[in-house]
Chains A and B, each alone.
Chain A
């Protein structure tokens, strides 16, 4: 009897835990080395291809409705000819304390056991709260029903659903790849290895600036890179605890980019 009560009390106590999970299965983390990024946007193209993102055309882009889940922000410093251009790829930061998650009234966005900030497309009713609360402006909205011109609909990724009009979406860290990697690992009765999973952006980056892995695994590449002195996170002062770690670019004159 007392054992049962203790179990119930333990359960109740666990509901008061911030973040709820006592231990995450994984904590997927992306490390982006800005020293290696040359702003080629191969990652953006890969993301379009992998995640069935529609190409909206020039007019819509001018209205700031471009669909890229991942964007390369360009900041130009100085006057010609003494110009410095800085790039920073920004995608969903998968915040551990994400403001968007508390905003959604219908649980369309939430945090899962892998430390991912997940968007469930077909639960979304489109209240825009998540996108408004997002401090990184990474959420994208399906303003229209987008159609793919005739032969292109055949290249859609079957592992990713094509989103309906009126639905919010965002970078998922290529969750379909994570899922299939975990599936394979399960079939082979082994844990997921470091390097099993490569999101489309990471896979396509010609300079290898984007690393992906489980930061809970101390042997993983990202865990090691995360200890780098060049490490910083975007808008860290807002206390959203993002899962994307940037490594500062060290300029020729010794100054560093951003911050």
Chain B
């Protein structure tokens, strides 16, 4: 198996410059950071898609229909008149559907988040615990055979503090 190269940076802008350079040269890169860098990354490397919104939408609509089905359907399954109101009353039905819209919308958002971010995953992966404190990491993965020197040179040029060739590091699950 190929090894990957993990470069650790102190400064975010250096990391982003290195990332841009490497991505331009056609490497697979992964950026690690202790804080969200979404805005900066998008600024540097171009915008990313947000698929979650579709799932949220589908979830909300499904929740709406689930609420309608639950309130109207169960009322029709066992007809019990109460309070001189119709079996199918608009107002309480809408209120119930409102809550289920939110509930199932949240559930779908949660599921799609787990799906897209590939969490939870407890298998061993390349990682360095310092990333969660104050280091930024840049991982160059994939078809690297014979090109380690070039990658490492680029990382060093951009100011990486530390460069490691790794298969799997201290990640504990």
B103 interfacial by beta-carbon distance below 8 Å: no
Number of B residues, CB within 8 Å of A: 12
B80 interfacial by beta-carbon distance below 8 Å: yes
> Which interface class (under 10, 10 to 19, 20 to 34, 35 or more) fits A?
20 to 34
A111 to B84, CA, bound (A): 8
B70-86 CB mask vs A (1 if < 8 Å, else 0) is 00000110011111111
In the assembled complex, the CB of A144 is this many whole angstroms from the nearest CB of chain B, namely 29
A75 to B38, CA, bound (A): 75
Taking A15-B75, A15-B76 as contacts, is the C-beta distance between A109 and B86 under 8 angstroms?
Answer: no
Binds B, one of A77-85, A91-99, A215-223, A244-252: A91-99
A20 to B80, CA, bound (A): 9
Q: Chain B interface mostly helix, strand, loop or mixed?
A: loop
B56-79 CB mask vs A (1 if < 8 Å, else 0) is 000000000000000000011001
A-B residue pair count with CB separations less than 8 angstroms: 51
B54 interfacial by beta-carbon distance below 8 Å: no
A109 to B75, CA, bound (A): 15
A109 to B82, CA, bound (A): 8
Mark out the residues of chain A between 1 and 40 whose CB falls within 8 Å of any chain B CB in the assembled complex: 12, 15-21
In the bound complex, residues from chain B placing their C-beta under 8 Å from that of A99 are 83
A100 to B84, CA, bound (A): 11
Contact B86 A17 (CB under 8 A): yes
Contact A97 B84 (CB under 8 A): yes
| Across the A-B interface, the 4 shortest Cβ-Cβ residue pairs | A97-B84, A101-B82, A102-B83, A20-B81
Additional pairs, 8, CB under 8 Å, beyond known A18-B85, A18-B86, A110-B82: A15-B75, A17-B87, A18-B84, A19-B84, A97-B83, A97-B84, A98-B82, A111-B83
Interface positions of A (Cβ within 8 A of B): 12, 15-21, 95-102, 104, 107, 109-111, 241
Sample 30 A-B pairs with CB under 8 A, ordered by A number: A12-B88, A15-B75, A15-B76, A15-B86, A16-B86, A16-B88, A17-B86, A18-B84, A18-B86, A19-B86, A20-B79, A20-B81, A21-B81, A97-B83, A97-B84, A97-B85, A98-B84, A99-B83, A100-B83, A101-B82, A101-B83, A102-B83, A104-B82, A107-B80, A109-B82, A110-B80, A110-B81, A110-B82, A111-B81, A111-B84
